[in-house]
Structures are given as C-alpha cells and as structure tokens.
Amino acid sequence: MTHSHSPAIEYVVSFPDLAGHRIHVEMTIAHPDPQGQVLFLPAWIPGSYLIRDFSRQIETIQATSNDRPVDIQKRGDHEWVCAPCAGPLQLKYVIYAWDLSVRTARVDENYAFLNGTSVFLGVRGQEDVPQVVCFEAPQTHPEWRVYTSLPCAQEHPQAAQRHQFGAYTAPDYDALLDHPVLLGQPLVTEFEVYGARHELVFTQPVPDIDLERIRRDVEKICATQIELFEPDTREVPFLDSADRYTFITMVTENSYGGLEHRSSTALMIPRHHLPTRAQADAPVTKEYQSFLGLVSHEYFHTWNVKRIKPAAFSPYQLLVPNHTHLLWVFEGFTSYYDDLLVWRAGAVTRRAYLDRLEQIMAHVYRGSGRFKQSIAHSSYDAWTRFYKQDENSPNAIVSYYTKGALAALGLDLLIQQRTDGQHSLDDVMRYMWQHYGKHYYRGQPKGIGEDDMPAIIEAAVGVDCSDYIEHYVYGCADLPLPELLKQQGIEMRWQAQNTAPSLNVLLDDGPAGLTIRTVYEQGAAHRAGLSAGDTLIAINQLRVPDQSTLKQLLSRCQADQEVLVHFFRDGVLQERRVRLFPAPQDKCVLIDKSESTHE
Ligand code: ZN
C-alpha cells in the first residue's frame, strides 16, 4: 500500500460522469481510530450562515480495509461511524453536484466548481493532519486545467504542476475547506500587487469581455486595500497560506453572489455586468460598478473575517450554527469599505460612490423592521432570520450588511470629527489587523470577543464610542447620519421615487399575474387588509396585469383617494376599498456641496 506509512489524509477526486453531475471521491486514512473511525461533513460553509446539510448530496458511501468491507453507519445528520479496523481505511463515495451557487458544488461538461465543505469528509481526531487531494482529469476533457489557491503537493509522487491535474495539499482540514477549486477552460488573466500573484478566472462563455480593463481596475482595488492595512510594509496577508490569490468567477445568466476564502474568492456575476471591448471608452456602468464592489468586498474579507475573526469563529463549529453578535463588524464594515475602496482606488467617481451610498440608505430606511431588531441581534439571529427571509422580513428585521455599512460610515465620520481629522475608521481596521488578525495566524488564536469593540475603538483612536454602539448597534435608533454628513459638506434628503400615490407594497410580475410580495406595515394595503400572496386583478374595475399598468393607473389617482381593489386570495375573488397613501419618500439624495462649488 503506497499510503500506509503516510500520515496525511488523501483524497482522489474524479469525474467519470460529468453529464450526471457526479463527483467520485476515494479517500485513504492511513491510521484510522482503532475504536472505529468517525467521519463528518460540515453542515454549513463559513461565510454563509445557514445550516445547509451538505451530507444530503452524498448518494453512496462504502468503506474497505485491505480490500475487505468495513461496516459504516450514519450517526445523526452529518456523521458516519466505521467499524474498528487496523487500517489503512479506504472510503469511496459519490456526490451529486448540480447547484449554481458559490456555496456548494456544480459539475457538468462546461466546468466543475467545488467547495471542500461539499466534497471532503473530515476525519475526526485527524483534523490537524496534512491533507492531500489528487484531482484526476475527466477522460472526456483531458484539456481541462485546475484553478485554485490550494498549494501544489510538492513532496508528493503525484505532485501537480500549477494548473495541472495531480496532487495539491493543505496543512490541515480547516485549510482544505478554504480553497475552492475550478476545473475547466476558463478565461484567465493575472497580475502582481506588491510581489503577490493574483489570478482572475472567468468561466466561459463571456463574449467580447474587456479583460484588460477588468484586470486594471481590480489591480488598483487590491493595491488600495493592501496599502490601507499595511501602509508601511505593504505586506500581503494571504502569502501565509498560498502563493497566489485566485478570483474564481462563475459567469451566469442572472445569478449574483460571492463567498470569501483565505486566499481566494468564489464569485457569481451576470454576463451583462461585465464590460465588453465595444464599451472601452464608456463610463463605468452601474452593473460593472457592482461587480467591482463585489470583488472589493470579498478581497477585504481576506483581512476582515478570514484573519480578524470573532472569538466565536476561532475555531468554527461546523456541525452546528455558530452564533456571534459581531457580523455588523465583519459584514457591515466590509460592506462599507467595499464601495468606498472602489472609489479610493480611482475606479469610479466620487459621484458614482455617493450613488451607491444612496441605494444603501434607501434599502435600510424602507422597512420598519429596523425599529424592531438591532444589527447586533440581526447578526446573532442570521441563521434563522436574515438567511431565512420571507414576505414579512422588511417589517421584522434589519440587515447587518446595509445598516452595518451605515453604522461604519457613522463611526468613521464620528471618529474623524472627534479627532479633528487625525484618525478615522481606517485606524480601527489597522488596529484590529495588528492586534488580532496577524496574531491569529501566528498560532495564537485571538478572536474578537463579543463585547470588545468599544475598547478596541478607544485603544485605536482614543474615542469613546460606547454610547454610539449602545444606541445604534445594540439599539434600534436611526443613525445620526444627516448631522454627521452635513459636517462633511454632504446634505442628505429624502424624496419620492415616483409621484404616483401608493399601495405601500412590493410586487412581483408573475405567471399568475401581479402578486404582492410584501405589504409594508401600516401602509395603505395593510390598513385595507391586502396580504402578501394576493394576486391583483383590477383597480376601480380596470385590469392591472403588471406593475407598469398599475403605476400608470395610480398616477392618475390622488393621494388619499379611495379605490376599489379586486384580487384573488387562495383562489377566491375578493374586494377591498383601499385609501391610497401619498408617494413614499423612499429615495435618498446625497447632495455634495463640494461638487456644486466647482460648478
Ligand atoms: Zn461578506
């Protein structure tokens, strides 16, 4: 047996059935637990706080030792127990992988994308042992290549050359889970920032994409972030775990998302968001700006959450929910800096940055849920509330992303104003990096405690922000942004997005017709007894098949006018008299005084 003296856990990953979306894994444990080896698969993936039960995609699993079967039984939802054996213990299992998301795995003839949390069984008791993964090229696609930040297993007999099939390695199981892999023939470009290699990988097809423009913009964003955290040394954080940073981008028809990893990120972006060569001289579109914001967001996580962590995540508990009140720092601050650093990097104008900020403001202020839930509690309940949103969520919860970003903006302005511009939130980020993030990877796990933020801010910039945190982070008060922005020469105003009177609902144009998605609390529809799920038929006996017809119709009404609404609820025709409300003041406008003085 070639593996019997090796202490590493070895996995061989192959794809005999790309068309059936199946991943085959053969795994060897040289020295299994003599009491009976326990294996497990994570129930969730770090960065996405929902129990997903990845184990349900394992179709078959068999255990053998020296070619003899070993009994293997499921224990609970995420674990298996093998009968005692002398070893080596081998497992063969098949995973069904057909989910277009950054959180799981997806395999077909175009490409294979995998997260370790969906593919690699953990070996209880040997989580700290080196792990080796050998990728085998699909027989039908020998031309495919391998894109991952996972290091090549240089000492291994089957060691991969970079981008080739063969053996890759991770120092422990936690690391193995944190390097997603893309196999295929994507479009690739690369660049160096402060001596560190970065790869930008896009799945095909992406016709006429302006790769050069994207490379230039992303490079500036990465450099700006390294300069923020390490203004003197320009030290790149991920070189502790890899020789490169890989942006794995799955280009889709309409899906959008991103997930951070220690030395890479998995992104999904609609094809039409990427700039083409024909648009070379055109200004940055909103869609491209949102792509750059996503890139910036995930890269910022390289520091903020992958290395600076809540104590609650050091280490992760991967079979159960892992609660923390601090996602307003790890997602909120990251959401504040993502767009800000795209602007600071010079990839978009100040006006384009303020436009994004206006959208975030509008998102936070649209729902009354912000008066019921604080961002600290939204963080804690992410597992059952933020990640399980329903029709009532705008009335019931607040987002630790968007309100967290505004809380970071407020904190930044407060620190700048209280220190006469000597300090800013940047100093807080650097302090957390120097005192927590760096230490974590030098073998001293030092996560941020649940109540540590006021002391950290005070230590970093000498400002006592405990009242601010009590009111706006643990409390539900609206942030004092109008006053804080005013002192920066920015006036914050609210106006109506459109002038038509309103039902105060969110609508979907569905196959069944115009359906109510959300009824805003205390709005016109709520007061008249309309509900989420109701399919609107007519207003004042005129048919409303879609949103644009409804808008036209309402724009001919007066605010405060009573209208007759017909709708179906659960297949039964109903009617209500609805007193319309004036158009809501739901559009935030940031007027930049420094702009107007130049005009
Ligand atoms: Zn994030």
Is 342 exposed, middle or buried, given 0-12, 13-18 or 19+ CB atoms closer than 10 A?
A: buried
> Nearest CA to 51 among 323, 266, 374, 314?
323
Beta-strand pair 244-252/264-270? parallel
> 167 C-alpha vs ligand 1 centroid, how far in Å?
30
Please, which residues have CB less than 5 A from ligand 1, an ion?
331
> 268 C-alpha vs ligand 1 centroid, how far in Å?
14
Query: Does residue 14 contact residue 290 with C-beta atoms inside 8 Å?
Result: no
> 555 C-alpha vs ligand 1 centroid, how far in Å?
39
Q: Is 87 left (phi over 0), alpha (psi -120 to 50) or beta?
A: left
> 337 C-alpha vs ligand 1 centroid, how far in Å?
11
> 340 C-alpha vs ligand 1 centroid, how far in Å?
15
* Two tokens, residue 192: 């160096």
> 507 C-alpha vs ligand 1 centroid, how far in Å?
28
> 283 C-alpha vs ligand 1 centroid, how far in Å?
27
> 495 C-alpha vs ligand 1 centroid, how far in Å?
30
> 259 C-alpha vs ligand 1 centroid, how far in Å?
7
Q: What is the pLDDT of residue 374?
A: 98
DSSP string, 464-517: --HHHIIIIISS-PPP-HHHHHHTTTEEEEEE-SSSS-B--EEEEEETTEEEEE
> 338 C-alpha vs ligand 1 centroid, how far in Å?
9
Ranges assigned E (strand) in 366-503: 490-495
Q: CA–CA separation, 201 vs 247, rounded Å?
A: 6
> 184 C-alpha vs ligand 1 centroid, how far in Å?
26
> 131 C-alpha vs ligand 1 centroid, how far in Å?
27
> 324 C-alpha vs ligand 1 centroid, how far in Å?
15
> 260 C-alpha vs ligand 1 centroid, how far in Å?
7
> 562 C-alpha vs ligand 1 centroid, how far in Å?
44
> 514 C-alpha vs ligand 1 centroid, how far in Å?
33
> 485 C-alpha vs ligand 1 centroid, how far in Å?
25
> 257 C-alpha vs ligand 1 centroid, how far in Å?
10
> 376 C-alpha vs ligand 1 centroid, how far in Å?
16
Ranges under pLDDT 50 in the chain: 1-6, 598-599
- Give the count of beta carbons closer than 10 Å to the beta carbon of residue 331: 27
Q: CA–CA separation, 408 vs 345, rounded Å?
A: 19
> 575 C-alpha vs ligand 1 centroid, how far in Å?
44
Q: CA–CA separation, 126 vs 40, rounded Å?
A: 12
Instruction: Provide the whole-model pTM.
Output: 0.96
DSSP string, 219-245: HHHHHHHHHHH-TTT---GGGGT-SEE
> 480 C-alpha vs ligand 1 centroid, how far in Å?
24
> 401 C-alpha vs ligand 1 centroid, how far in Å?
8
* Two tokens, residue 143: 């031309």
> 308 C-alpha vs ligand 1 centroid, how far in Å?
13
